[in-house]
Amino acid sequence: MSTSARTGVPVELPTAADTEALGERLADGLGAGDLVVLSGPLGAGKTVLVRGIARGLGVAGAVTSPTFVIAREHRPLPGGAGVPLVHVDAYRLGFATDVAAELDDLDLDTDLDSAVVVVEWGEGVAERLAARHLLVRLDRRDDDVREATVERVEGPR
Ligand SMILES: Nc1ncnc2c1ncn2[C@@H]1O[C@H](COP(=O)(O)OP(=O)(O)OP(=O)(O)O)[C@@H](O)[C@H]1O
Ligand SMILES: [Mg+2]
């Protein structure tokens, strides 16, 4: 799991296209079994970032904000990285929820070990899926410009 974005250094994202491009760049360093945890307030651009990751991986299906579903699977397209994407929105899961158990209950067709798993609102709940993960914090400044900080987390904190 590597990233071309320098870790720990905030990146300015003036437009949604910039956020999507960051996701696309991050996808280059992602492979089967990798977990990406996204944090940041409502409307920060988490779903937009996932859209970029999906484009970078080359997976099928539109990335949208799941209103009722907790997780959506995107299968690999020919010519892509060959890895499915599982997009989880943990907003409706309580902080104490066992995300692994919730995902297990959903009985997804995709084996999480063979997929890139991206969890919105994952900070504090998704780390249990994999101690080693990429943490992307998205912030919305007062001037409405977004900032992203990418951090590689190697173990339990
Ligand atoms: N620089 C930017 N990066 C990302 N989104 C932006 C940016 N500037 C404006 N936007 C807009 O802000 C909105 C971000 O929405 P998005 O659904 O990605 O947020 P989210 O963090 O997933 O929110 P939620 O917490 O509701 O899931 C989009 O409508 C997008 O077009
Ligand atoms: Mg979202």
- Summarize pLDDT for 99-110 with one digit per residue, the tens: 888 888 888 899
Phi, psi of 44 (to 5 degrees): -70, -25
Order across the sheet with 71-74: list the strands.
11-13, 146-153, 133-140, 35-39, 116-120, 85-89, 71-74
Residue 87 has pLDDT above 50, yes or no: yes
Residue 39 has pLDDT above 60, yes or no: yes
Dist. CA 37–CA 15, nearest whole Å? 21
51 lines ligand 1 (CB under 6 A): no
Computed over every residue of the chain, the mean pLDDT equals 89
Residue 41: which residues within 8 A CB-CB, separation 6 or more? 139, 140
How far does residue 54's CA lie from ligand 1's centre (Å)? 16
Query: CB-based burial of residue 109 (10 Å sphere; 0-12 exposed, 13-18 middle, 19+ buried)?
Result: exposed
Residue 98 has pLDDT above 60, yes or no: yes
Q: Under DSSP, is residue 1 helix (H, G, I), strand (E, B) or coil?
A: coil
Phi, psi of 50 (to 5 degrees): -65, -35
Superfamily for domain range 11-153: P-loop containing nucleotide triphosphate hydrolases (3.40.50.300)
What residue segments make up the domains of the chain, in order of their start? Answer: 11-153
How far does residue 36's CA lie from ligand 2's centre (Å)? 14
Residue 4 has pLDDT above 50, yes or no: no
Beta bridge partners of 133: 153
pLDDT of residue 93: 75
| Arithmetic mean of pLDDT, 122-142 | 89
- pTM of the full structure: 0.92
Nearest ligand 1 atom to alpha carbon 146: 1
Residue 96 has pLDDT above 70, yes or no: no
Q: Do the beta carbons of residue 140 and residue 54 sit within 8 Å?
A: no
Residue nearest atom 9 of ligand 1, based on CA coordinates: 16
